[in-house]
């Protein structure tokens, strides 16, 4: 486990970067006070934080809100001279709840900016509403390629990842690491699972690898993975690549170990497999599992040292990538608002495109590339560090962009 030196509050605030000035919006209905349309001044900016507060993704929503709240708490609840008013809405777990939640904060609450979203279908489903209202959305989780791909709009940006970005990094790594003779790929049978398998396979085969078999498990209804594990065992695979998260990640990792595959066919996956609160529930079955992701609380850089210390002191547990992604949404909004000429979506999008390298993020430096992070992806391994399971850094795989379609 990486040991972090103590960081006092003054150094922590310094590491987080100076707060910027928020511009005044002259359009009707803005919550920002003052006059004119140039950067500077004072008043209030209203942000709709739409994250799951109920349903299967509620734990992710908790982490996301904590990341947002922590940034604001350590910056006096302000972006520059403007006080931030946060309106929290429950995304739930489907677009049937998520889309109305976004519509509510836009229409009833009159927010200036929307932040959040776990469900990709929700992110895609609010595209037209954002375009019509000219309001900005910063997605802090939803990973569908189309959000910043073929369905891209100037009003939707990401501070998170794309499904293919994380999976392709592992595909390239395994192809270069002696597993080219055969990998088995498995994921749930829904949109994200399909994107992950597609991106992994493309990168793995481009590197000279061969996928010897694949399976898609019924999403949300599979509790017994033995038939699929039997298929992996008989495939001749030298390794397994998978994408599971939440309760499915717990079940799959445990059953993979119980079936005896861990010692003969090592398990690899997208980092959500062992991220956040699923890891302690997986227990020793997760030890040795390797994943790729853009963050782990074990990163040894000054910004992460400060972030982990502040987060754990406030919430009693270490942060996850979901916390960091929403922390960084506040961070980049603050940066953008130092130069934006308004808080309408056009002004904020132009400003976000000009902020350059985000050099004070806990994940390490990153930049926007086509409205989504170009960021370092890390190879991580689950280790038992003094009785605590951690995603230890094995290798920095370097900066990665959203894969080309």
For 147, phi then psi, to 5°, come to: -60, -40
Please name which of 122, 130, 149, 131 lies closest in space to residue 61, comparing C-alpha atoms. 122
Please name which of 399, 402, 362 lies closest in space to residue 378, comparing C-alpha atoms. 399
> What does the DSSP 8-state code read for residue 196?
H
Residue 127 forms part of a structural domain: yes
Residue 2 forms part of a structural domain: no
Residue 176 forms part of a structural domain: yes
Same domain? For 232 and 347 the reply is no
> What does the DSSP 8-state code read for residue 274?
G
Per the structure, the complete domain to which residue 311 belongs is given by 9-161+301-370
Query: Domain of 365: which CATH number?
Result: 3.40.50.2300
Same domain? For 391 and 252 the reply is yes
Residue 290, SS3 per DSSP: strand
Q: How many domains does the chain have?
A: 2
Going residue by residue through the chain, which has 405 residues, state the pLDDT in tens, using 9 for 90 and above: 333 333 333 333 333 332 222 222 222 333 333 333 345 445 788 999 999 999 888 999 999 999 999 999 999 998 877 789 999 999 998 999 999 999 999 999 999 999 999 999 999 999 999 999 999 999 999 999 999 999 899 999 999 999 999 999 999 999 999 898 899 999 999 889 999 999 999 999 999 999 999 999 998 899 999 999 999 999 999 999 999 998 899 999 999 999 999 999 999 999 999 999 999 999 999 999 999 999 999 999 999 999 999 999 999 999 999 999 999 999 999 998 888 888 899 999 999 999 999 999 999 999 999 999 999 999 999 999 999 999 999 999 999 999 987
Residue pLDDT, tens place only, 222-265: 999 999 999 999 999 999 999 999 889 999 999 999 999 999 99
**346: exposed, middle or buried (Cβ count in 10 Å: 0-12, 13-18, 19+):** middle
Same domain? For 128 and 201 the reply is no
Q: How far apart are CA 270 and CA 252, in angstroms?
A: 13
Q: Which residues pair with 157 in a beta bridge?
A: 138
Residue 70 forms part of a structural domain: yes
Pairing relation of β-strands 290-293 and 183-188? unpaired
Same domain? For 93 and 181 the reply is no
- Dihedral (Cα; 186, 189, 195, 200), 10-degree rounding: 10
Q: What's the Rg (C-alpha) of the chain?
A: 21
Same domain? For 385 and 257 the reply is yes
Residue 190 forms part of a structural domain: yes
Q: What is the pLDDT of residue 364?
A: 98
- Name the H helices within 29-91: 58-73
Same domain? For 45 and 155 the reply is yes
Q: What is the pLDDT of residue 261?
A: 97
Same domain? For 196 and 267 the reply is yes
Same domain? For 242 and 329 the reply is no
Same domain? For 156 and 170 the reply is no
Q: What is the pLDDT of residue 42?
A: 59
Residue 229 forms part of a structural domain: yes
For 365, phi then psi, to 5°, come to: -60, 140
Q: What is the pTM of this model?
A: 0.88
Residue 259 forms part of a structural domain: yes
Residue with tokens 């960084």: 328
Q: What is the pLDDT of residue 271?
A: 97
Residue 22 forms part of a structural domain: yes
Same domain? For 281 and 226 the reply is yes
Residue pLDDT, tens place only, 11-26: 333 333 322 222 222 2
Residue 245, SS3 per DSSP: coil
Same domain? For 57 and 81 the reply is yes
């Amino acid at each position: 486990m990486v040991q972090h030196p103590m960081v006092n509050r003054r150094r922590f605030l310094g590491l987080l970067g100076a707060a910027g000035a928020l511009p005044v919006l002259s359009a009707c209905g803005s919550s920002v006070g003052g006059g004119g349309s140039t950067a500077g001044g004072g008043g209030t900016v209203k942000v709709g934080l739409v994250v799951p507060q109920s349903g299967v993704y509620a734990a992710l929503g908790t982490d996301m809100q904590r990341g947002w709240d922590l940034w604001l708490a350590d910056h006096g609840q302000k972006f520059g001279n403007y006080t931030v008013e946060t309106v929290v809405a429950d995304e739930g777990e489907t677009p049937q709840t998520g889309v109305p939640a976004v519509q509510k904060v836009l229409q009833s609450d009159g927010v200036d900016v929307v932040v959040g979203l776990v469900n990709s279908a929700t992110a895609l489903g609010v595209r037209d509403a954002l375009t019509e209202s000219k309001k900005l959305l910063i997605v802090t989780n939803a990973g569908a390629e189309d959000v910043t791909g073929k369905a891209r709009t100037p009003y939707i940006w990401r501070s998170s990842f794309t499904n293919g970005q994380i999976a392709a990094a592992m595909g390239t790594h395994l192809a270069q690491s002696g597993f080219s003779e055969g990998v088995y790929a498995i994921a749930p049978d829904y949109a994200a699972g399909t994107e992950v398998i597609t991106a992994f396979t493309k990168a793995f085969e481009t590197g000279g690898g061969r996928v010897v078999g694949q399976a898609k498990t019924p999403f949300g209804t599979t509790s017994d993975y033995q038939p699929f594990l039997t298929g992996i065992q008989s495939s001749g695979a030298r390794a397994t690549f998978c994408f599971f998260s939440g309760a499915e990640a717990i079940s799959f990792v445990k059953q993979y170990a119980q079936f005896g595959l861990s010692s003969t066919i090592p398990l690899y996956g997208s980092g959500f497999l062992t991220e956040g609160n699923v890891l302690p529930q997986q227990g020793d079955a997760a030890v040795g599992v390797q994943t790729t992701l853009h963050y782990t609380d074990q990163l040894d850089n000054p910004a992460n040292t400060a972030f982990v210390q502040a987060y754990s002191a406030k919430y009693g547990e270490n942060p996850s990538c979901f916390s960091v992604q929403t922390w960084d949404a506040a961070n980049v909004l603050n940066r953008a608002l130092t130069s934006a000429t308004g808080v309408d979506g056009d002004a904020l999008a132009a400003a976000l495109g000009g902020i350059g390298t985000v050099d004070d993020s806990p994940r390490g430096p990153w930049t926007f590339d086509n409205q989504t992070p170009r960021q370092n992806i890390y190879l991580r391994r689950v280790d038992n560090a003094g009785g605590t399971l951690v995603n230890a850094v094995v290798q920095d795989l370097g900066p990665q962009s959203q894969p080309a379609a």
